Amino acid sequence: MFESSLARRASPAGARMRAPRLACLLLLAGLAASPLCHADAASALPPPPSVLYGDLFVAVQMQQIFPDQKTFVDAVPKGDPAAIVQQYEQSKNQPNFDLKQFVLANFTLPSEPVITPPSGQTLREHIDWLWPKLTRTTTAADVPPNSSLIPLPKPYVVPGGRFREGYYWDTYFTMLGLQESGHEDLVDDMLDDFAYEIDQFGHIPNGNRTYYLSRSQPPFFGLMVQLAAKAEGERAYKKYLPELKKEYAYWMTGADTTPRGQATRNVVVFQDGTVLNRYWDERDTPRDESYYEDVSTAKQAAGRDPKRVYRDLRGAAESGWDFSSRWFGDGKTLATIRTTSIVPVDLNSLLFSLEATIAKACALSLDFRCTADYVQKAERRAYAINRYLWNPSGYYGDYDWRLGKLTGRVSAAAAYPLFVRVAWPDRAHKTLRMLEAQLLQPRGLATTTVDTGQQWDAPNGWAPLHWLTLKGARHYGDQPFAKEVGTRFLADVKQVYASDQKLVEKYVVEGPNAGGGGGGEYPLQDGFGWTNGVTLKLLDMYAPGE
């Protein structure tokens, strides 16, 4: 694999190999890519609800008139927003004014369709049956005026439950299952949707909502292109090369201008000139979809600038791990969150993979200079990951660039360097033994070693982290551990499905009994896109007859 070659070259044994030499090995003949059209959609979008509704928005969220803060930001106004706000200002101080009734009169609330599966479905049959129920088409003609929903040109699959829109990193794991179910057309559609977003906004938003536009999510686009290429051939690399480069440019904004020892947006420049990345959000206000919760957290963060707290909360939302002890200064408490101070092992592993993917796409397009450039970028990052994100205790982890030291938090994110093949072999095996000793539980892989009440901590286990760990173990020849991770989690999913006839977002993996996970800002969600995708892969690997 290309990624593992780069990792070897960044190790001491391979440091003397030159980029042009490897580039020559990669060059393959092919046709030039055809970029998608470049219509400007961003200017046609309304601002996020917090801006669009001002004081009305703050009142609705702070008074918690709906149990879920996402309800109002997904609601659609029945008339002109300015007129609704004006009516609110004129009415709010009147006797007997009822804010909830005002909202119900002026907004159409989102609905969650009731999905009732036929009885007697096997787990595989149920997932195949679910895909159409989770598929949405929301072109510009389908989205009402002033909705927070961002229209997309082609169909896409949503996770399920309160997650009524497409989500960036979820989609990679959903695609795994769609391919197993024979829905390569949907994989192509969602790739085209993401390419469209990159062309319009310069990045793939967290999800296709206006309140998600200020951040992205873990950059899996290059890995999605790799999935498509396995099924459709190498033309996929050339087709999406312009968007691969644009996404990379988004994540690397400021890399050439940031002084040493400082950070700009998603970029951190170390004192020695090493460039790595962090999670970040361009806004420093409470999240629209969790406004009350963020204001409450900032109040608990005594002595901290609320804007800094909000940006750290938003940065954690970009990570997908919202929330986890990985980001907490004290390892326990949300109010100590310091996401933007942390250089995460997962993000930098994914960016290594993106660099390698672009290098391959450039080689296939016969762009020799581009190939050599991205090979060199990937080599530098591989070396930096193994220098800064390796804990001598025996695992890959996160680095606090402000404090100048590793965080020391053990998490399933340690598997990412193995998944993208940037880990040095001896370190890969040490990391696997750490995961086995500290995170492997009777029902699968725990997310971290601590229970903070947050959803990305123990005792929860998540389908994507099981897949990444399993694949990482297989990449480095540890088939027995991969099987333990996969079969234990599959047994958990099967047991919940047998008792409740559904798949869920996350699972409890500790203790003898299976069950849906908990913690975090919202109740457990059914559906569920990435669980469905990973479960189909696990069934094919470890229970092909079921």
Is 169 annotated among the ligand-binding residues?
A: yes
- Rg, C-alpha atoms of the chain: 23
Q: Six-digit token pair at 474?
A: 């297989």
Query: How far from each other are the two terminal CA atoms of the chain, in whole angstroms?
Result: 31
What's 444's DSSP letter? E
Q: Six-digit token pair at 25?
A: 């090995």
Is 162 annotated among the ligand-binding residues?
A: yes
Tell me the C-alpha distance between 146 and 18, whole Å.
Answer: 53
SS3 state of residue 276: strand
The pairing of beta strand 107-108 with beta strand 275-277: unpaired
Residues 6+ apart with CB under 8 A from 9: 15, 17, 22, 379, 382
Is 521 annotated among the ligand-binding residues?
A: yes
What's 18's DSSP letter? -
Tell me the C-alpha distance between 266 and 252, whole Å.
Answer: 7
Is 530 annotated among the ligand-binding residues?
A: no
Is 443 annotated among the ligand-binding residues?
A: no
Is 216 annotated among the ligand-binding residues?
A: yes
| β-bridge partners, 77 | 107
Identity of the amino acid at 383: Y
Is 513 annotated among the ligand-binding residues?
A: no
Catalytic site residue 505?
Answer: yes
The sign of the CA dihedral 188, 194, 198, 201 is: positive
Catalytic site residue 322?
Answer: yes
Catalytic residue among 281, 318, 505, 526: 505
- What's 309-363 look like in SS3? HHHHHHHHHHHCCCCCHHHECCCCCHHHECHHHEECHHHHHHHHHHHHHHHHHHH
Is 261 annotated among the ligand-binding residues?
A: no
Catalytic residue among 128, 293, 322, 355: 322
Closest CA to 341 of 316, 306, 361, 324: 316
Residues 6+ apart with CB under 8 A from 249: 202
Tell me the C-alpha distance between 206 and 215, whole Å.
Answer: 6
> Catalytic residue positions?
322, 505
Binding site feature residues for substrate: 162, 169-170, 206, 215-217, 320, 521
Binding site feature residues: 162, 169-170, 206, 215-217, 320, 521
